[in-house]
Structures are given as C-alpha cells and as structure tokens.
Amino acid sequence: MTVLSKPICIIPARSGSSRIKNKNIYKIDGIPMIGHVIKILIKSKIFSKIIVSTDGAEIAKIAIKYGAHVPFVRSKKLSNSTATIKDTVVDTIKKIKSQNHPFHFVVYPTAILIEPIDLQKAFKLLLGNSRANTLLSIVENISFFRSLVVDKKNENEINWKWKKFQKKMSQDLDKAYNDSGTFFIFKTKFFLQNKKNVLANPVIPFLIDKHKGIDVNTHDDLKMLKIAYLFVKKNAKK
C-alpha cells in the first residue's frame, strides 16, 4: 500500500465537555483515552498520518507524545457544543490540504476498545466497494423496538414507545442498530461534495462487538467503559 493510498486518520478532540470534564484525556489504566486510541491506530499500520483536531493545549501535548500530529489549533467557532462533526472534519481536511487524498478515517478519542483488525477489515471493505462512499461502524440495539417513555405530564405513567411491538417476542423483531460512536471512513471526494450529512449513501454498515461501542456521554458510560477495558485486558492475558 502506497502512502497516497493509505488513509489519513482524523481524531476530533475538543477540550470542552459539558458532562464529563476533560473526557478525552481521562486516564484509564494510567493512559489518557486519546493516548489509547493513538496507540491502536499506529498498531494498525494502515494510516499515512494521524491528525488530531483540538482547541486544547493539554490534549495537543498528549496527542503528540503518543505519536499523532497536531498541525493547527481548532478555532473557537468549531470548539463549542453546537459545532458539527461534518464542519470539524471539513475544516481539518482544508487545513492539512488533503482534499485530493482518496480516503479519510474519523476515529473518536474515546474508542479505546476497537482493535487494529477492526480498522484493517473496515478499510478493506470500503476499498473493495466501488459503489459505497462511506463505511460506518455500528452496534446492535436489541431493545430499540421495546423502548418505554415516561409521560411528560405525569411522571408516574410509563408507556410503550411503539405499542404495536408490545406483544412481540424480542427474537421476532427486526434487528436495529446504533452508530457505535467509534469510527467511520469516507471517500474524500464524495464527502466534500455532500453538503448536508456525514453519511452519504450508499453506506457500508460495519458491525462491531457491542462492548467496543460504548459511547461516552455520561459518568455511567465512563464506568462501563472502564469495566469493559479492564475485563478485555484481563482476559487477553489468559
């Protein structure tokens, strides 16, 4: 694989987090989360560059320590909670002048449980598919159709979100999936042409193990991620 054909990896890692302070550099097993991710990316050996887009000096320092590049400071406009991942990634591509590079990955700084083999397999899938523009890593959501909602006017009342599925057995329901919150890949030309969404159909769904796709938005999510990481580490030694 030539340098040009190797994808560029972008890690979006803003410093502000309204729910978990310094989430992206929170240490698990003594290593900041973004450090774990960079180590995984390097180990995969498929990237020509690993770029971190951040507004945080401490995040930049840690990212460089673990082997990533931080060629610019993200603007304040793209560092608040309303900035979209699309805008952030487009900004990064323009800043590093990689518009003509055929492929880019976006890997989130909390994706510490993905494995190099996941990245390798995913890239091979998109590389071999002339029709698809994007690949999205997903996890199965077995409880989606059996969701419950609390009544807005009466907190003591719980109803089925979709009553038509109330009497169905879980095994009889269609499979549903969530964005895993770990990574996606895109063909650069189509990504830049698509003005609205990150995902430009046709998209390849890439199913990963559910424990690898713990999207960290709350302290409970963080606890689950730590438990999963330590469990995987312990069993890997056996």
Percent of the chain with pLDDT over 70: 94
Average pLDDT of the chain, as a whole number: 90
Contact status, residue 186 vs residue 103, Cβ threshold 8 Å? yes
Is the CB of residue 140 less than 8 Å from the CB of residue 174?
Answer: no
Q: Looking at the predicted structure, is the pLDDT value of residue 4 above 70? A: no
Q: What is the pTM of this model?
A: 0.90
Classify residue 163 by burial, with Cβ atoms within 10 Å: 0-12, 13-18, 19+.
Answer: exposed
- For residues 32-56, give the mean pLDDT: 97
Mean pLDDT for 7-12 is 97
Contacts of 2 (CB under 8 A, 6+ apart): none
pLDDT of residue 19: 77
81 pLDDT band, cuts 50/70/90, is: confident
Distance CA 144, CA 107 (A): 25
Report d(CA 139, CA 130) in Å as an integer. Answer: 24
Give me the pLDDT at residue 39, please.
Answer: 98
Instruction: Tell me what pLDDT residue 85 has.
Output: 92
- pLDDT band at residue 153, thresholds of 50, 70 and 90? confident
Check whether 134 has a pLDDT greater than 80.
yes
Over the stretch 159-208, which tens digit does the pLDDT of each residue have? 777 777 776 777 777 788 899 999 999 999 999 988 667 777 789 999 99
Determine the CATH number of domain 8-139+178-236: 3.90.550.10
Domain regions of the chain by residue span: 8-139+178-236, 142-175
pLDDT score of 197: 75
Mean pLDDT calculated for residue range 99-117:
96
Instruction: Determine how many CB atoms are found less than 10 A away from the CB of residue 6.
Output: 17
